[in-house]
Structure 1
Amino acid sequence: MPKAWRSTRFRVALTSFVTSLVALSVVSAWLVLDAQNRLGNGAAQVARERAAAVVHVLNTGAAPADLGFLVRGSIYEVRTRTDERVASCPGLRSRAIVPDGGSAYGDSVQYLKPGDIDLASRESVGCARELGEDPERNGIRLHVTFTVSGDSKYRIYGAAIVDESGQAALDSVRVTLLVGVPVIALLIGAIAWFAVRRSLRPVEAIRSEVAEIGAHDLSRRVPAPDSADEIAKLAETMNTMLARLDTAVTRQSRFTSDASHELRTPLASLRTQLEVLLAHPDRLDWRDACRNALLDITRLQDLVGDLVLLGKLDNAEPDRAAPVRLSEVVESCLSGRRQGVRAEIGDDPMVFGDRGRLERLLRNLVDNAQRHARTGVEVRTSIVDEFAVVTVTDDGPGIPVADRERVFDRFVRLDDGRARDEGGAGLGLAIVAEIAHAHGGTVEVADYDGGARLVVRLPLAEVRS
């Protein structure tokens, strides 16, 4: 199959052509048949009335020979049961309107030839008005009906001329439709072809632009038409998808770079200590060297664990929808911590989620607060506007306004945090943000003059259910 035949334009045009051809053909055939039936029904009604008039005259006792004077302006023929002609419309030759093959009840169509009509006879008073003045005219179509008299002695055939002008007009309409319907269907198919071609022009532009966009050039966007149709929505969706891909690729690149740097530092330190220990075993205390190596391994283990957790959160791993009381999460997180951390359970909200990850969220917040606090940390739970709210406050130096959104990015540590030896890799608050988002909530740095205040909002279990 040629490539052009597989295109959407061709399929839509072909479908439009075939559909319109079938529909127009069915409608045209119905109209022609209906008009033909109307013409035939009109002649059939007249023929039945004429046959009934002849039967009525005969039933009154009149002789068949008197029909020429009693029945005028009518086309008929009367025959006996032995098929002998006894009366007919003057000017009509014998058996001109009698169907071939004998008689039977019902209607039929007969055609009169020039030899079947003798209009030159002076006696053709009744038929002349019906059959016309031209003895050479042929092809006169009659609708013939057959019946019998009341005493069953006579067979009566009544006829009426089918309207020739109406039939001619109908034949003209039939020829016109026979030629016009395919032409109109073809025109509809051509219009559909050009309409689809014009409609798909923006789609082709979108396809061409997407084909040229590479993995390292996701900043480009597809052209969006000014119309508000489905193609414009497609372009908008494509641009939104490209924006998400651009953000994801940029974030992944930065994450890979930062992760490699963070992993390289403890690995280099560990390797240096081991090389020095092997080179100078008599100058170093192997216990201190092993203790330092263990610290580096622990740091690597924590960093890898954080990276694995972030990878799971990035893959949108579904959380286990189990009801969790935040008071129990706070109690589990704060048990065993040193002095200076206190909890205030104003309300006891319940949320749906993974208890282990919610405990990890609160533990990271408290660890971050303790790392920067001067004297103490406060954890508070409450219910605000159908949300469970967890607030962690410390009295440390606080977070500058310019960095309040950036602190939730991965591998971000402020200068104060980087100056501390016990500082993490900058993944703690990023994990907090991912866990909160996975539970349908948010986390933000709130305004607070005495230090830093981080607020987590999670939907209540009653609202989510």
Structure 2
Amino acid sequence: MLRSTRFRVALTSFVTSALALGVVSAWLVLDAQNRLEDGAAQVARERAAAIVQVLNTGAAPGDLRLLIRDSIYEVIDQKSGGRVASCPGFRSSGSIVPGGGFQRGDHVATLHPGEIDLSMDESVGCARVLGDDADYVDIRLHVMADTSGDSKYAVYAAARVDDSGQAALDSVRMTLLAGVPVIALLIGVIAWFAVRRSLRPVEAIRSEVAEIGAHDLSRRVPAPDSGDEIARLAGTMNTMLARLDTAVTRQSRFTADASHELRTPLASLRTQLEVLLAHPDRLDWRDACENALLDITRLQDLVADLVLLGKLDNAGPERPSSVRLSEVVESCLSGRQGVHAEIEGSPVVAGNRGRLERLLRNLVDNAQRHTRTGVVVSVSTVDGFCVLTVTDDGPGIPAEDRERVFDRFVRLDDGRARDDGGAGLGLAIVADIARAHGGSVEVAEHEGGARLVVRLPSAGEPRS
């Protein structure tokens, strides 16, 4: 379970959302706190400016109690260093003056319980600003330090962060502190169920694939109609299963046909040898050996074709070389009677010359078995393809057989009736060689015979 995709996604969602929400919440709280602090500092600056303005008019520090209301301040005589006015009244240990002496600007000071006395007359003007909790809690203040115009007095004015705003911010802070983990956990749970629901089709696909055996490739995995990646995965797997089913079926049929084709000459050879051994005085040994040699030759040809087909089925990508089709035609037609060649230009393909010669040889052999007067081999280049055409004037190939004639061990009725007919692998080899070279082969329409057309990608002119 801990290694499942659901758990990992849920954990990742929880951790990511917790971090994201935590960072955002912390930034929001800090920003709000900074705004409150900046507001208090601004109030302290305004109060300090007001006190300095009053002192600059010639008023005495003692008059500030009557002139400045609702302000926390402390005025120090620069010469003696003694306090000359303050609000509230401070006990001996109390002061809002920052340590280290006078420094103009904004400072932060903390008043502890017992450092002020709200019962003193000095506290009347600022008791409300200090708040009702001034006697028993620490009070954090922003203090603005300034001097009077004649630099006789150091003025310290302070302001407390807005209580209602701070309370609201504290409430938000506690809510976020408790709520962020809960929300992150909720997101993780939602991710758990969402992934579980999303992976349900995957589990159905896995279960179906686990039950599909080598002899039951006709089954297909369920494909959801969602149109998402899982649906495409199911479609790809069904396509793969269809290819495997076709390959296994083709292999089984190929094996059965090959067994049948091998059995016939072997049975004939065995029969001849048994009869010859049983009746040596009734048979001509020379004729029997010649017949046996014909069966062995037929077996050799069949095995060679099977080996070639096996190589074509399992062959990986080869490093091609430039092959002139004109040279292939000249090599294959050398010594043949009744075959005419028509070559246009000098077409070149990238491939294996030996395989291409075998392709043409099979086509010509097939045409010569069926022709009446002769065979025409033509080579040309059309639309970037090298076109190799073999035409005969025999009985032709029926339209319904023009596709299956390239299947393995397929022989038409006319071919089966011929004594010199092959095992039905010649055109199958042609089709496999053409596909291996990125081309195709087909039976074209032709009056008065058969025309087989091979198209191979042109490689242009070879370098001399």
The answer to which of 100-109 and 428-437 deviates more is: 100-109
Q: Of 383, 386, 402, which residue of structure 1 is paired with 2:384?
A: 386
Helix, strand or coil for the counterpart of 1:172? helix
TM-score (norm 1): 0.89
Is 2:145–2:154's contact at 8 Å kept on the other side of the alignment?
yes
Matched length: 458
2:158 and 2:261 mapped to 1: Cα distance? 109
Does residue 19 of structure 1 match 2:16? yes
Q: Tell me which residue corresponds to 1:439.
A: 437
With over 3 angstroms needed to count, the CA separation of the structure-2 counterparts of 1:128 and 1:422, relative to structure 1, is same
> Which shows bigger deviation, 383-392 or 232-241?
383-392
Larger deviation, residues 21-30 vs 285-294: 285-294
Q: Distance in 2 between matches of 1:163 and 1:120?
A: 24
Deviation at residue 50 of structure 1 after TM alignment = 3.3
Measured after TM superposition, the shift of residue 111 of structure 1 is: 3.7
* Aligned sequence identity (%): 77
For residues 64-463 of structure 1, what are the structure 2 equivalents within 5 Å? 64-69=61-66, 71-80=68-77, 84-89=82-87, 91-93=89-91, 95-98=93-96, 103=101, 105=103, 107-111=107-111, 113=113, 116-118=116-118, 121=121, 124=123, 126-128=125-127, 130-131=129-130, 138-146=137-145, 155-338=154-337, 340-462=338-460
- Which amino acid is 2:412 matched to? L
1:265 is matched by which residue type in structure 2?
T
For 2:212, the aligned partner's letter is: I
Q: Distance in 2 between matches of 1:341 and 1:90?
A: 125
Question: Where does residue 45 of structure 1 map in the other structure?
Answer: 42
Classify 1:150/1:302 alpha carbon distance in 2 versus 1 (closer, same or farther; 3 Å).
farther
Structure-2 separation of matches of 1:435 and 1:408: 12
Query: Which deviations, in whole Å up to 9, do the C-alpha atoms of 1:332-358 show, x marking residues without a partner?
Result: 1111112x1111123432222111111
CA contact (8 A) 1:436 1:442 kept: yes
Is 1:119–1:133's contact at 8 Å kept on the other side of the alignment?
no
Post-superposition shift, 1:187? 0.9
Using the alignment, how far apart are the partners of 1:53 and 1:305 within structure 2? 112
CA contact (8 A) 1:85 1:94 kept: no
Report the Cα offset of residue 218 of structure 1: 1.1
Check whether the contact 1:144–1:159 (CA below 8 A) recurs between aligned residues.
yes
Deviations 1:379-417 (A, max 9, x none): 112223332211111111111111111110001111111
Whole-angstrom distance in 1 between the partners of 2:152 and 2:83? 12
User: Which deviates more, 385-394 or 148-157?
Assistant: 148-157
What's the counterpart of residue 34 of structure 1? 31
1:211-232 deviation line (CA, Å, top 9, x unaligned): 2211111111111111110011
Q: What amino acid sits opposite 2:75 in the alignment?
A: V
Is residue 13–residue 191 contact of structure 2 (8 Å, CA) maintained in 1? yes
- Paired with 2:129 and 2:69, the residues of 1 have a C-alpha distance of 10
Residues 1:231 and 1:104: Cα distance change in structure 2 (over 3 Å): farther
Q: Read off the aligned partner of 2:190 and give its amino acid letter.
A: I
Rounded Cα–Cα distance in structure 2 between residues aligned with 1:147 and 1:267: 120
Partners of 2:435 and 2:331 in 1: CA distance: 22
Conservation of the 8 A alpha-carbon contact between 1:263 and 1:300 = yes
Q: Give distance in 1, aligned partners of 2:11 and 2:17.
A: 10
* Contact in 1 for aligned 2:323/2:353 (Cα 8 Å): yes
Whether the 8 Å CA contact 2:406–2:428 is kept in 1: the answer is: yes
TM-score of the two chains, using structure 2 as the length reference: 0.90
Shift of 1:145: 4.1
Q: 1:34 to 1:372 in 2, by over 3 A?
A: same
CA distance in 2, matches of 1:111, 1:366: 111
SS of the residue 2:260 aligns to: helix
Work out the CA distance in 2 between the residues paired with 1:368 and 1:66: 128
2 CA distance for matches of 1:275 and 1:148? 134
Structure 2: how far apart are the matches of 1:271 and 1:327? Answer: 45
Whole-angstrom distance in 1 between the partners of 2:309 and 2:422: 15
What is the identity, as a one-letter code, of the residue corresponding to 1:439? H
Q: Secondary structure at the match of 1:461?
A: coil
Q: Which amino acid aligns with 2:320?
A: A
Identify the residue that residue 6 of structure 1 maps to in structure 2. 3
Cα distance in 2, alignment partners of residues 168 and 97 from structure 1: 26
Deviates more, 1:254-263 or 1:351-360: 351-360
